[in-house]
Structure 1
Amino acid sequence: MTEREQIQLGKIGFRAMWKFGGLTLWDLIVRTLKGYDKHHLSAHSAQFAYYSIFTFFPLLIVIIGCLAQLPIRGVILSVENAINQGLPSNVSSMLFAQIEDIQQKTTLSLIGGGIFLLAWGGTRLFITMEVGLDSVFEVEHRRSFLRSGGLALLLTFGVLILLLTASILLVVGPEIASLLVANIHSTWIHLLFSAGARWSVACGFMLISTSVIYWAVPSIKLPWKIFTPGSMFVIISWVLMLQGFRLYVENFAHYNETYGTIGGFIVLLVWLYLTGAILMTGGEINGVIYRAAKLKSEETV
């Protein structure tokens, strides 16, 4: 993609994005599916899952180690509740055991080692995403290795800060919601606000993270837009995947019986692959729209 084409992409506005660049919804779906195959996004999703495993557990060590030092009661319990609501029970049990072990053995050296491993794994993870999104936007000239590594490292610790903030909001959010409905004597409304606050935090984290990824990670200049068809696809698909995959694993699949004690690890790996596939598909949606809008603007000139 040339510099002139990058400038044209930067001029594509909010309305053009949501008009799908002049495409019909059916055309957008067909082109996205073809692009997913053409740009080998399934392979990039597998690489995403691979490097996510190397990032996930150091991230858990750093987050739990930091949260344990905060003077906020119930924050780790709230994180466990969120994990329990979003992941299958065998994965939740595996993570709960890890969280308990981290709490008992948290030291500055453990947190320091976790930060080092997180920096390495997170850098590789975001570079993998850069390669995938560059293929989506058909980039000809990628960033240098040093620039890619520096940006990936910055995004890694940006996600860490967002997750720590989200973890605190998981405790503070329901309490704020409870204050707002303190004078409403209805159990189901209290439950709705409590659950809604938690889901709002999770979806807000995904929306901010996704919009920043689609703006900063590709090696081209794109305008930052928090609401794009790709990012909204990610939010909706991710929530549906969380609930659908959990129901499937707990009611139909029997990973523990098939794989034994590593069943939870296998489920987590599949979950990370699906998350990567959703992120890559959202990027492909935006890429299809940008290319269609650019072509339409060239035809009208």
Structure 2
Amino acid sequence: MRRAEHERTPPSSNHSSASLVWLLALAASAMLLSRRPARRDEPVSEADTPLQKADLHGRDAEKPHEIPPRGWADILIRTYEEFLNDRLMLVAAGLTFYVLLAIFPAISALVSIYGLFADPGTVAEHLQLLSGVVPAGGLDILRETLMQLTEQGRAGLSLGLILGLGIALWSTNSGMKTLIDALNIVYGEREKRSFVKLTLISLGFTLFMLIFMVTALAAVVILPTLLNFVGLGGLENWLLTLRWPIVLVLVAGLTALVFRYGPSRERARWRWVTWGAGLASVLWVGISILFSWYVENFASYDETYGSLGAAIGFMTWIWISAIVILLGAELNAELEHQTSRDTTTPPEKPIGERGAVMADTVGETRG
């Protein structure tokens, strides 16, 4: 029995040795595994952290110029995508229809107001200042309409001023309401204002636009006389060369007003509407000059459409202008969509309670 037990002893020793080897191997493996976390001390790319990713895309930007290049790439890509998704070229076509319906009552209202202070016949004379921007055919249509209206004389215009001006303003107001509706589409909003409030806002825009145009025309008449009176008549030609920068600034200001107060939402701060307004104004002046030059030198609307050629060219210019304005609004919308900060008027409100879709949500990254 003892011999048998003695014979079983060597296998037990071998088993212990094997177990010891396995234990040592496991211990070594554990030591190696325990050393892997030391890689945390290696430099980590800032772009790997969620906070830095947000900073790279301007999610914490309080002003548009604080948005970094990656954020601007997101904005431009989304602007292009939403321009297509919102079918803004089709929306601009509908806006063009209502503008055409409203433009002639607007001219009537303009002549009526201008006739209170000066000879309405001078309106047609100063229409030539728009040459180079408005296509020649469009100028001819406007000039003919103005001549028909001014043939009535100041007395005739004054007799029915209140009734005629009211009808003209109401008709012009339909075009402004359509623009406001288009801006609601761009900003992803539904019209939440009452009929009375919306009408007052659109009428306010319409009346302000007409007063601005009357003031601009009056300045054209008064300025040369004033310069001659103070002995600076030679500056007249120099000032005329500056009319495009002046027009650019004024159009940008008017566009920013419409972008801020037009959509049915909590008002955006000025810094979040001026970028799109500036872009729309620059593009509008540039594209209008190019289109006017193209129509004058290459286009053959008269050959294609006959007597309707001038009207078609004018309508095309209005359509292009509407596209440019809506593109500027789309850029503003995506600028607000890029940051998580409150872009609406004070006081500061948490996301989801700001009363504006673009301020209450954050757009997707694209780069």
TM-score using structure 1 length: 0.80
The amino acid of 1:171's aligned partner reads V
Distance 1:219 1:82 in 2: 35
Partner in structure 2 of residue 94 of structure 1: 141
Aligned mates of 1:235, 1:275 — CA distance in 2: 10
Deviation by residue 1:36-55 (Cα, 9 ceiling, x = unmatched): 11122222211211111111
- Pick from 166, 170, 184: which aligns with 1:120? 170
C-alpha distance in 2 between matches for 1:253 and 1:167:
30
Query: Which is richer in helix?
Result: 1
**43-52 or 137-146: which moved more?**
137-146
Moved more, 52-61 or 215-224: 215-224
Q: Aligned in 2, Cα 1:84/1:45: closer, same or farther, shift over 3 Å?
A: same
Q: Deviations over 1:68-119 (max 9, x none)?
A: 4424799525532223232222222222222222111242366556534433
Contact 1:21 1:289 in 2 (8 A): no
Pairwise CA distance, 1:219: 0.7
Contact 2:99 2:175 in 1 (8 A): yes
Query: Is the alpha carbon distance of 1:265 and 1:73 closer, same or farther for their aligned partners in structure 2, counting shifts above 3 Å?
Result: closer
Tell me, yes or no, if structure 1 residue 229 matches structure 2 residue 275: yes
Q: 5 Å matches for 1:198-213?
A: 198-213=243-258
1:220 aligns with 2:265: yes
Distance 1:177 1:38, change over 3 A: farther
Could you tell me how far apart the structure 1 residues matched to 2:230 and 2:292 are? 32
Aligned residue for 1:246?
A: 292
Query: Does 2:194 align with 1:144?
Result: yes
Give me the whole-angstrom Cα distance separating, in 2, the residues matched to 1:114 and 1:35. Answer: 41
Who is 2:307 aligned against? 261
Q: Does 1:131 find its partner at 2:178?
A: no
The residue type equivalent to 1:246 in the other structure is S
For residues 145-184 of structure 1, the aligned pairs below 5 Å read 145-173=195-223, 182=232
Secondary structure in 1 aligned to 2:270? coil
CA distance in 2, matches of 1:20, 1:110: 55
What is the rounded CA distance, in whole Å, between the counterparts of 1:75 and 1:135 in structure 2?
A: 40
User: Using the alignment, how far apart are the partners of 2:131 and 2:319 within structure 1?
Assistant: 19
% identical equivalent positions? 19
Distance 2:130 2:227 in 1: 21
Checking the alignment, whether the CA contact within 8 Å between 1:41 and 1:280 is kept in structure 2 is yes
Distance 1:27 1:34 in 2: 11
> Cα RMSD over matched residues?
3.3
Distance of aligned partners of 1:178 and 1:138 in 2 relative to their CA distance in 1, 3 Å threshold: farther
Q: Which has the higher contact order (CA 8 A, sep 6+)?
A: 1
Matched with 2:237 is: 191
User: Which secondary structure state, in structure 2, belongs to the residue aligned with residue 262 of structure 1?
Assistant: helix
Task: Give, as a single letter, the amino acid of the residue that structure 2 aligns with 1:203.
Answer: L
The 1:161–1:190 alpha-carbon spacing in structure 2 relative to 1, beyond 3 Å, is closer
- Determine the structure 2 residue equivalent to 1:273: 319
CA contact (8 A) 1:75 1:170 kept: no
- Rate the CA distance shift 1:69–1:148 in 2: closer, same or farther, 3 A: closer
Residue of 325, 329, 346 corresponding to 1:283: 329
Is the CA contact 2:60–2:340 (under 8 Å) kept in the aligned structure 1? Answer: no
Task: Give 5+ residue unaligned stretches, structure 2.
Answer: 1-58, 344-350, 352-361, 363-367
1:244-279 CA deviation, whole Å, 9 max, x = no partner?
A: 110111111111121122211111111111111111
Within the candidate set 81, 85, 101, 2:132 is matched to 85
For 1:37, the equivalent position in structure 2 comes to: 84
**How many matched pairs?**
283
2-structure distance, mates of 1:143, 1:210: 21
The reply on whether 1:76 has 2:123 as its aligned counterpart is yes
Calculate the TM-score normalised by the size of structure 2.
0.67
- Please tell me whether residue 46 in structure 1 is matched to residue 93 in structure 2: yes
Which residue does the alignment assign to 2:27?
Answer: none
Change (3 A) 1:171 1:253: same
Does the Cα contact within 8 Å between 1:42 and 1:277 map onto a contact in 2? yes
Residues 85 and 156 of structure 1: CA distance in aligned 2, closer, same or farther (over 3 Å): same
Unaligned segments of structure 1, at least 5 residues: 1-11
- Counterparts in 2 of 1:181 and 1:279: CA distance versus 1, 3 Å: farther
Is the 1:35–1:284 contact (alpha carbons within 8 Å) kept by the matching residues of 2? Answer: yes
Q: Which amino acid in structure 1 is aligned with residue 244 of structure 2?
A: W
Q: For 1:218, what is the secondary structure of its paired residue?
A: coil
Decide whether aligned partners of structure 1 residues 193 and 119 sit closer, same or farther in structure 2, where only a CA change above 3 A counts.
closer
- Write the distance in 1 (CA, Å) between the matches of 2:278 and 2:230: 28
